[in-house]
Amino acid sequence: MSLAIISPGKNPNAWIKVINQLNPDLKIQVYPDISDPEEVEVAFLWQHPEGLLSSFPNLKLISSMGAGVDHILRDKTISPDIPIVRIVDEKLTWSMTNYVIMAVLNFHRQITRYQADQKRKVWDMSNPEIEVKVGVMGVGALGSDVLEKLSMMDIPVFGYGFSEKEDFQFPYFSKDHLDQFLKEINVLVCLLPLTKETENILNLDLFEKCNPGTYLINVARGKHLVDEDLIIAFEKGYLSGAMLDVYREEPLPKDHPFWEEDRITMTPHIASVTNPRAAAPQLIENIERIKSNRELLNLVDRNRGY
């Protein structure tokens, strides 16, 4: 059996080191230097070239290198018979929650405003805090942890998702109740998976339904957000600002208007990065399970998109 690591533009050495420690007998081939494609039975990947996996005639398992799988599901050349799994890592959850809390507190304590005041040498002690009520779109492992940790800080929280939930720990609004959800909050966090239903969901129609001055935090996928609608929402007062970690094109082109927009705080897709030492054991475990025809860890439901 051979494992193909496919992560264009990313250095796979940290993954190779850990995988070799866990299973020294596993043959690893790294794209683009795949010398024996017929030996590849497991593909471990991030942002692979579309159609590439069809060159592996004996492929039995596809694993994402992270929690997201939209980069895999958009490749329509992949056989529906090949199972897809993803990484669920407590460290990913910890990092994502810390990032969102940082972004919420940035808005709550108006750090962006004080940074601007510092540059202008302005001493303004008025209104040092903004009352926040946080809504999280997408309440899976990441979103639920965000809600829990913010609630522990006595910050009112609300969840939103596309499925019905019974006995959810926090106030929750399902798919058809988006308007009610938005009226409860003034900080909107997007942690939705990227699917046909959620692509472009952060658009002008949604922003218009927000409480005036709502603050947006997008840490899910760049394609959730309609870029030009965000700027319009600022101008119309629907939103007061945004913190973005993901973008439609990464790296963000240097001529993109977000670079010059003072109401946007940007980070380069670093909110939550997969830790090879924590995640590789899941990969190795799934390789053993596929060999013995056992139930896989973190199996993706293709119909749901996650």
Task: Show which residues are catalytic.
Answer: 221, 269
Which residues, listed in sequence order, are joined to residue 173 by a DSSP beta bridge?
Answer: 160
Residue with tokens 């302005």: 122
Strands 2-6 and 27-30, sheet pairing: parallel
Write the CB contacts of 200 (distance below 8 Å, at least 6 apart in sequence).
223, 224, 225, 226
Distance of CA 216 to the CA centre of its chain: 15
Q: Are 162 and 140 in contact (CB under 8 A)?
A: no
H helices of the chain, in order, are 13-22, 70-73, 90-108, 111-120, 141-152, 178-183, 204-208, 227-236, 276-291
Please list, in sequence order, all residues whose beta carbon lies within 8 angstroms of the beta carbon of residue 158, skipping any fewer than 6 positions away: 133, 134, 135, 136, 170, 171, 172, 173, 181, 184, 185
The torsion angles phi and psi of 247, rounded to 5 degrees, stand at -145, 160
Contacts of residue 247, defined as CB under 8 A and 6 or more positions apart, other chains included, come to: 222, 256, 258, 269
Backbone torsions φ then ψ of 73, nearest 5 degrees: -65, -25
